[in-house]
Amino acid sequence: MLLLAFFWTVYFGLHSLLATTWLKDAVARRLPRAARFYRLAYNQVSVWGFLLLFRYQSQLPETRLFSPPQPVLVLGYALLGLGLLVAVAALRGYDLAEFAGWAYIRRGPAAADGPLRTGGLNTVVRHPLYLGLLLGLLGFWLLAPTYVRSVFVGCNLAYLLVGTRLEERKLRQRFGAAYARYQARVPQLLPLKWRPTAPGPLPD
């Protein structure tokens, strides 16, 4: 289990490092022709690295922490399904070509110049995609609460918390006062706390 936790920690650490602005800017300075492929390559490394680690994890012997009763299984399926629906709905609010990296190949750095998106599920929480992943992970664990899944879900949850903070920092740098007003109105990850409306309109 320690080795599995180490692998996931390295994976998420690399994932965060590759997403930093300073590293992307460094690549753009040294390899300007390759810079437009950075986002696409980043996604490929992320996806294939995740799949390889998940395959390794699936071959490990699993021991249940407890046998979930029927109500817990129902809750697990409900959370897994709800997480999938929230994640899909969240992705509908993104520029998927920019998200995947194809837009950078066609338009270069200009692909990142989109507006601050505050519609759809972004009116409920600032990071609805992360919320969907959070719900899905909890449902996945409840369906089969084993040691292996506990390590997997624990590492993913830790990364979501850290990744959210890093994403917030980049968004504040990019959108400035507009994002500060958005932060004042909309909760970060869990739609549990009402916040008073801050002065000034939100950009669309």
pLDDT for residue 173: 85
Could you give the count of Cα atoms lying within 13 Å of 101 in the half-sphere of its Cβ? 14
Q: For 126-178, write each residue's pLDDT tens digit.
A: 999 999 999 999 999 999 999 999 999 999 999 988 888 888 988 888 888 88
Residue pair 134/160 in contact (Cβ under 8 Å)? The answer is: yes
pLDDT for residue 99: 73
Nearest to 112 by CA among 122, 104, 120, 124: 104
What are 79's two structure tokens?
């959370």
Backbone angles phi, psi at 146, to 5 degrees: -105, 170
Give the Cα-Cα-Cα angle 170, 175, 181 (nearest 5 degrees): 110
Q: For 40-75, write each residue's pLDDT tens digit.
A: 888 889 999 999 999 999 999 888 888 889 999 999
Nearest to 15 by CA among 186, 116, 156: 156
Instruction: Name the pTM for this structure.
Output: 0.80
Nearest to 98 by CA among 117, 82, 124, 84: 117
Query: Which of the two residues, 26 and 203, has the higher pLDDT score?
Result: 26
